[in-house]
């Protein structure tokens, strides 16, 4: 790697081992604990083993997570839904092997998200969902504690019982987790500008735990057209709407210490809204409802002060960094997912960074993540 500095990934993942929930979930839900099942044609994940009992093997499996073949062929695009647990990189769930993976890739540290957990935000039984989230949080605490200063976990936090959810956020902060992922959208249709969420934003700001909106982690999903290529290409849409609504509803003005991160939506989407938000605020606030900005900042400045985005491969965002905000863009490898920017992260970034000054390379590839999460690493 010739970047001249060690990377910090703002978006990496583990793959939850099959026994995680069986071993850690609230005993009330032991017979429902999520797991990976070995099927005839593929291994597959079931969220509720009791509900899945006796059902036919589904058509889809864990093939998109079974990515060992990327080491031999980083450009491999032949993944399907079929795959076995043995084909998942061991560093996805073994922290000692994960550190060796980081060293091989020239990565000093990473923010770590779930994989299977991303699909759990739409669980209808909210008590069961909370039990699943809580069990995961305790597991990722142990996982990251094996490599202090290298692995920084992101908690899974629900938003349906704010008193309980704030208590879990506080517990996760005490345990050393560095951020909290919430659902991008609410199944109820409520906006995060609603006052019922203010205690969550206040706790996040006070604890210094940024809030993450990770693509696909939503009670409502992101599939809107029925065309998978269109939905995946525009998968940032729900997050964009949520962030813009939070800005105009005054969430960030009421909570100036709150920080929100758009994760794995790439980082170009703000180009579509930053100038337009300011224009609408200038021309429409005399008549339009929802004028809750009170700090005197323009919407684009609220974004640059308190919101950031991660990307895997987004040269458009890098070249537009002065418009989006040079401190509002940060790189993530998305390891170990099939479409992640790995292995050979440095070489991939070299192409994306072509013509970019060293100072900005270092900022985007390392420093912005350290600053955003106040990580105990050298800038």
Extract the residue ranges of the chain whose pLDDT is less than 70: 1
Task: Count the domains in the chain.
Answer: 1
Report angle CA 172, 325, 343 to the nearest 5 degrees: 65
pTM: 0.97
- The answer to the question of residue 200 being in a domain is yes
pLDDT of residue 1: 47
Domain membership of residue 27 as a residue range:
7-31+90-373
In the chain, at which residue ranges do the beta strands (DSSP E only) sit? Answer: 7-13, 35-38, 43-46, 107-113, 151-156, 179-181, 211-214, 260-263, 307-311, 329-331
Tokens encoding 317: 């965002």
pLDDT of residue 332: 98
pLDDT of residue 322: 98
Report angle CA 259, 262, 266 to the nearest 5 degrees: 145
CA–chain centroid gap for 325, Å, is 20
Q: Are 336 and 74 in contact (CB under 8 A)?
A: no
Tokens encoding 115: 């994989």
pLDDT of residue 162: 97
CATH number of the CATH domain containing 151: 3.20.20.140
Q: Are 336 and 15 in contact (CB under 8 A)?
A: yes
- The answer to the question of residue 173 being in a domain is yes
- The answer to the question of residue 26 being in a domain is yes
- The answer to the question of residue 80 being in a domain is no
């Amino acid at each position: 790697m010739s970047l001249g500095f060690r990377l910090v990934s703002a978006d990496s993942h583990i793959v939850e081992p099959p026994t995680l929930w069986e071993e850690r979930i609230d005993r009330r839900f032991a017979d429902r604990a999520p797991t990976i099942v070995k099927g005839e044609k593929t291994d597959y994940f079931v969220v509720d083993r009791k509900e899945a009992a006796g059902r036919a093997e589904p058509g889809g499996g864990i093939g998109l997570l079974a990515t060992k073949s990327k080491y031999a062929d980083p450009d491999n695009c032949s993944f399907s839904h079929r795959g076995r647990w043995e084909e998942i990189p061991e560093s996805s769930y073994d922290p000692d092997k994960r550190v060796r993976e980081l060293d091989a890739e020239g990565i000093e540290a990473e923010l770590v998200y779930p994989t299977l957990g991303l699909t759990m935000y739409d669980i209808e039984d909210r008590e069961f969902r909370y039990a699943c989230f809580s069990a995961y949080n305790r597991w990722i605490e142990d996982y990251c504690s094996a490599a202090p200063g290298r692995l920084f976990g992101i908690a899974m936090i629900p938003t349906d019982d704010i008193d309980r959810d704030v208590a879990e956020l506080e517990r996760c902060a005490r345990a050393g987790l560095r951020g909290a992922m919430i659902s991008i959208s609410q199944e109820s249709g409520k906006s995060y500008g609603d006052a019922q969420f203010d205690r969550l934003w206040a706790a996040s700001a006070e604890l210094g735990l940024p809030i993450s909106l990770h693509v696909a982690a939503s009670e409502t999903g992101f599939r809107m057209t029925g065309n998978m290529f269109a939905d995946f290409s525009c998968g940032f849409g729900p997050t964009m709407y949520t962030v813009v609504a939070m800005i105009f509803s005054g969430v960030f003005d009421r909570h100036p210490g709150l920080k929100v991160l758009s994760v794995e939506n790439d980082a170009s989407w703000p180009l579509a809204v930053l100038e337009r938000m300011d224009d609408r605020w200038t021309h429409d606030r005399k008549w339009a409802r929802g004028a809750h900005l009170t700090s005197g900042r323009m919407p684009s400045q609220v974004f640059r002060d308190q919101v950031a985005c991660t990307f895997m491969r987004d040269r458009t965002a890098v070249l537009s960094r002065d418009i989006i905000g040079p401190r509002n863009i940060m790189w993530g490898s998305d390891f170990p997912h099939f479409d992640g920017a790995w292995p050979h992260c440095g070489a991939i970034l070299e192409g994306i960074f072509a013509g970019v000054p060293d100072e900005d390379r270092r900022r985007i590839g390392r420093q912005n993540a350290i600053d955003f999460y106040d990580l105990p690493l050298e800038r």
